[in-house]
A and B are shown apart, each in its own frame.
Chain A
Amino acid sequence: MERADASAAVPGATRRTSLAIGGKLVELWRARELLDQLVRKELKVRYKNSTLGFLWSMLTPVLMTVVFSVVFTQIVRIPLTDFPAFFISGYLLWQFLQNSCQGAIHSIVGNGDLVKKVYFPREVLPLSHVLAQLIHLLLALVVLSPYLVYTRGFHVLLHLPTILLAIGLLTIFTSGLAMWFAGVNVVFRDLQELFVVIFQVWFYATPVIYPLALVRSQMGERFAWVATVIEWNPTTWFVELFRLGLYGPVTATGDVVSPLTDGAPTWPDPTSTLVAAGWAALMFVVGYVVFLRRARTFAKEV
């Protein structure tokens, strides 16, 4: 028996909420075929209409790498070896996050007809964007791996578990965030206008083009809060974790002139891994709960 009734959500009824999420996850599992088809659709539509399909989609990260490398090694000097490898190891993750959310934010509103006419677990719509971007990220990594191995050495391959862990945790984080954006955008349409600004600021608040170590060592008393903001930024932890496996640790001394020392890729410490995992879990639960609350009335509001 499928049952739907109108008993309102009781605040503090954690057991029922967790039960509801459990039930929803089972339902999501049963909708995996739909999720699979939607991901295929995303990828096909994205790559289909051009022969070079996938390669075209690599153009943005490659161009960005060239531009930022020129700017930060020739004009503004960030003394790092292999800056392109450093940049790529942060930018790929960032692109995954941003593109996932960008696709997801329109996923409910853009599929209004579907949402109004057919029942299916609505979360498959934003999640299909996240998974399509995940596949894209993995493909991009495979394509770029020769370059990374060439510049950073073969031990990059040894750190595959760390890299995959970082990707896995960020996927969970992004799923939560994507659902949050998709759900909230149905009621607050302004969100999609704010989106560009939010992500612009967020990009610079994440150590993608600069190493976190540099911020920690360079910010004086007056700007200590900047370092605090960056450290409280959840995406910092994913990027750091990912970069540790793909590029290696970056350390800096307090002196501006001395070059940054960087070493070979190494294993992450448990604390930062736990922080990343914590952020991932928190974002997923918050995003999912908000989404499910909103999802009840999507058919009325879309």
Chain B
Amino acid sequence: MSERRSIGQLAGAAPDPNQPAIVVDRVTETFRLFHERPSGLKERLYRMRRSSFTDFNALEAVSFTIEHGDSVAVIGPNGSGKSTLLKLLARILPPDAGTVLTNGRVASLLELGAGFHGDLTGRENIRLNGAILGLTRAEIAERFEEIVEFAGVRHLLDTAVRTYSSGLEVRLGFAVAVMVDPDILLVDEVLAVGDAEFQERSLERMRHFRDQGKTFVLVSHDLDAVRDMCDRAIVLDHGRVLFDGPVSEGVELYRQRVTSVAAPSVDRVRGSRRVAIDEVSLLGPGGELAVEIAPSTPLTLRVRLRAIEEVDVCSVGVVFSRGDGTHLYELHTTWQGVGVGPLAVAQEATVDVRFTARLLAGHYAIACSVTDVSGREAWAVVADAARFTVAPAPGGTGLVDLSATTAVTEGPARRMEGASRPIPLPRLQRRQARG
């Protein structure tokens, strides 16, 4: 049996303040994916040695420590292992390798109204649900009024829950769940249900919990809620910890990652209809391919296109955007009075767009299009034609490099040696995290 807990420790659920709230040490969780799951006796016997499966690590060597009073968000794309991690913390799943230690009473809100039974009344379900969440009879009795009040189900207390509306059922489930008064609260996406008022109330409840100095682990896709609720973020990707640090950086990293995964890669340059964009390259001042640059580097975007059929004069357009999709700058050659063509079949043309990347640290993408002169008809579009990264540099943070200088015009001043670094790019940290 791999779940080891001494009896004495079981009896005393009070947290030990000298120990961290949660320690996850090199935890790996493996799921066995059967290609054709042999779930019956016959199949078992029949394909005793031949059952084909692949092992898939939902979590791989994940380690972190959470102190008492930390509010931590776990974010990452679907399938990155967030929910599995929460289940490990809630002891629903045992780790396949490594150790999970929790210190104090743990309550998990992985599902609201878990175990509600439609034939039982609201009153009976409150007792049942409370017991499922680990409340004692005395605790349920003590909090009963508060639960009824919070859920607003007083008039329906003795009615079978199957007659409740789904919204009401969720509210009742939440009301019971938040009455559990744990030292460590695990929340999985439950905030996403219910109407706006209910969401606000539940967020309020969570804030209250956090402000009491309780430990709080939240899994959510709602990045605004995450930023609001948590101080720290753990970003997971494919079962690995990509980032563990301040929530704002974690959220930013995740945003950029989502957009970079969603966009097609550069090598999928493809033309549509009348013109083909054969190649888009971003060149630095010396004509070399630019990938990572310093702020305000002069760059050239070289677009090579080829007519698939005979076309009249066309316009080449470029759109600059930040990793999260923020529209930064757009330009079409015709806006500057330059048209390309007319082109005969298979005739090629190359357009250079010269610009200065007055941008600060971050990831940026360039989209490229060929349209008719009026810009109404798109003849070729490449959504993610080129990408570049601006490296952090001293001088300022934000989005736009305003090239500001400072001067003390009155009063004493001192020249500082070794100017302090700006907020480093999350990517740099990501590299560090990967070791």
A3 to chain B, nearest CB (A): 5
State A300–B34 Cα separation when bound (angstroms): 12
| CB <8 Å contact, B119 and A118 | no
Kindly list chain A residues whose C-beta atoms are within 8 Å of the C-beta of B1: 9, 16-17, 20, 292-293
Knowing A23-B6, A118-B111, A296-B2 touch, does A2 contact B120 (C-beta < 8 A)? no
User: Which A residues, 1 to 28, have Cβ-Cβ distances below 8 Å to chain B?
Assistant: 1-9, 16-17, 20, 22-23, 26-27
Verify A5–B95 contact, CB threshold 8 A.
yes
Majority-rule SS of A interface residues: helix
Q: Which residues of B contact A16 (CB under 8 A)?
A: 1
- Among B69-77, B130-138, B148-156, the one that faces the other chain is B130-138
A195 part of interface (Cβ distance < 8 Å): no
Which chain B residue shows the least CB distance to A49? B119
Q: How does the 8 Å CB contact mask read for A22-39 relative to B, with 1 for contact and 0 for none?
A: 110011001101101110
CA–CA, A130 to B115, complex, Å?
A: 19
Of listed A6, A194, A296, residue having the most chain B CB within 10 A: A6
- Give every chain B residue within 8 A of A6 (Cβ-Cβ): 2, 94-99
Among B5-21, those with CB < 8 Å from A are 5-7, 9-11, 16, 19
Q: Which chain A residues lie closer than 8 Å to B133 at the CB level?
A: 118
Asked whether B132 lies within 8 Å of A27 as measured between CB atoms, the reply is no
Q: Say which one of B38-46, B201-209, B360-368 lies at the interface with A.
A: B38-46
Proximity string of chain B (95-109) to chain A, C-beta cutoff 8 Å, 1 when within and 0 when not: 111111111001010
Residues of A within 8 Å of B, CB-based: how many?
50
Q: How many residues of B contact A (CB 8 A)?
A: 54
A106-133 at interface with B (beta carbon < 8 Å): 111, 113-120
The answer to whether residues A5 and B102 also contact, given A34-B131, A118-B92 and a CB cut-off of 8 A, is: no
Q: Which residue in chain B gives the minimum CB-CB distance to A187?
A: B39
B131 touches A37 (CB 8 A): yes
Q: Are B42 and A190 in contact (CB under 8 A)?
A: yes
B335 interfacial by beta-carbon distance below 8 Å: no
Query: Contact mask B336-351 → A, CB, 8 Å, 1/0?
Result: 0000000000000000
Interface centre among B6, B41, B110, B111 (most CB of A within 10 A): B41
**Closest CB in chain B relative to A57 CB, distance in Å:** 16
Q: What residues of chain A lie closer than 8 Å to B44, measured between beta carbons?
A: 188
| A23 x B119 contact (CB < 8 A) | no
Which B residues are closer than 8 A to A by beta carbons?
1-7, 9-11, 16, 19, 31, 39-42, 44, 87-88, 90-103, 106, 108, 110-111, 114-115, 117, 119-120, 124, 127-128, 131-137, 140
B4 and A3 within 8 A (CB): yes
List residues of chain B with CB within 8 A of the CB of A20.
Answer: 1, 3-4
Q: Could you list 16 further interchain pairs (A-B, Cβ under 8 angstroms) beyond the known A3-B101, A189-B40, A296-B3?
A: A2-B5, A2-B106, A4-B5, A20-B3, A33-B137, A36-B137, A37-B131, A38-B131, A41-B120, A45-B117, A119-B108, A120-B132, A188-B41, A194-B41, A297-B94, A299-B93
The minimal Cβ–Cβ distance linking A118 to chain B, given in whole angstroms, is 5
User: 6 tightest A-B contacts by CB?
Assistant: A20-B1, A117-B111, A34-B131, A190-B41, A190-B40, A37-B131
Partner of A45, one of B100, B119, B136: B119
From A26, A40, A48, A293, give the contact of B10 (CB < 8 A).
A26
Q: Which residues of A contact B110 (CB under 8 A)?
A: 117-118
Q: What are 25 contact pairs spanning A and B, CB under 8 A?
A: A1-B19, A2-B101, A3-B5, A4-B94, A6-B94, A6-B99, A7-B2, A23-B7, A26-B7, A37-B127, A40-B128, A41-B120, A44-B120, A114-B132, A118-B111, A118-B132, A119-B108, A120-B134, A188-B41, A189-B39, A189-B40, A296-B94, A297-B93, A297-B94, A299-B93
Q: Could you say which residues of chain A place their CB within 8 Å of the CB of B5? A: 1-4, 23
> Does A285 sit within 8 A of B, measured CB to CB?
no
Is A137 among interface residues, defined by CB-CB distance under 8 A? no
Closest to A8 in B: B2
Residue of A nearest to B31 (CB): A300
- Looking at the assembled complex, report how far the CB atom of A81 sits from the nearest CB atom of chain B, in whole angstroms: 44
Asked if residues A33 and B101 are in contact (CB atoms below 8 Å), the reply is: no
Within 8 Å of chain B (Cβ to Cβ): is A191?
yes
Do A36 and B99 touch across chains, with their CB atoms under 8 A apart?
no
Q: A44-B120, A45-B117 are in contact. Are A5 and B135 (CB under 8 A)?
A: no
Q: Which residue of A lies closest to B111 (CB)?
A: A117
Q: How far is the CA of A116 from the CA of B91 in the complex (A)?
A: 10
**Chain A 172-200: CB-based contact to B (< 8 A → 1; otherwise 0):** 00000000000000011111001000000
* Chain A residues packing against B (C-beta within 8 Å): 1-9, 16-17, 20, 22-23, 26-27, 30-31, 33-34, 36-38, 40-41, 44-45, 48-49, 111, 113-120, 187-191, 194, 292-293, 296-297, 299-300
B95 closest partner in A (C-beta): A6
A4 touches B128 (CB 8 A): no
B114 lies within 8 A of A118 (CB):
yes
Q: Is there an interface contact between B128 and A41, defined as CB atoms closer than 8 Å?
A: yes
Q: Complex: how many Å from CA A190 to CA B40? A: 5
- CB of B426 to closest CB in A, whole Å: 32
Q: Given known contacts A23-B7, A45-B119, is B99 in contact with A5 (CB within 8 Å)?
A: yes
By a CB distance below 8 angstroms, the chain B residues around A191 are: 41
CB distance from B141 to the nearest CB of A (A): 11
| Residues in A whose Cβ lies below 8 Å from that of B119 | 44-45, 48-49
A4 to B128, CA, bound (A): 27
Whether A7 pairs with B111 at a CB distance below 8 angstroms is: no
- Closest CB-CB distance, B321 to chain A, in whole Å? 39
CA–CA, A114 and B114, complex, Å: 6
Question: In whole angstroms, how far apart are the Cα atoms of A61 and B108 in the complex?
Answer: 44
State whether A4 and B103 are in contact (beta carbons under 8 Å apart), knowing that A41-B120, A44-B119, A189-B40 are contacts in the complex. Answer: no
Q: How close is B61's CB to chain A, nearest CB, in angstroms? A: 12
- In the complex, A115 Cα to B87 Cα: how many Å? 11
A5–B100 CB distance below 8 A? yes
Nearest Cβ distance between residue A111 and chain B, in whole angstroms?
7
Whether B11 contacts A26 by the Cβ 8 Å rule is: yes
Contact of B114 among A37, A113, A187, A300 (CB under 8 A): A113
- What is the distance, in angstroms, from B62's C-beta to the closest C-beta of chain A? 13
Q: Are A118 and B115 in contact, CB atoms less than 8 angstroms apart?
A: yes
B434 to chain A, nearest CB (A): 24
Residue of A nearest to B125 (CB): A41
Closest to A296 in B: B94
| Interface contact B92-A116, CB-CB below 8 Å | yes
Complexed CA–CA distance, A296 and B48 (Å)? 23
Please indicate the chain A residues that have their CB under 8 angstroms from the CB of B131 in the complex.
33-34, 36-38
Complex: A117 Cα to B100 Cα, angstroms: 18
Are B41 and A1 touching (Cβ within 8 A)?
Answer: no
- Closest residue to B87 on the A side, CB-wise? A299
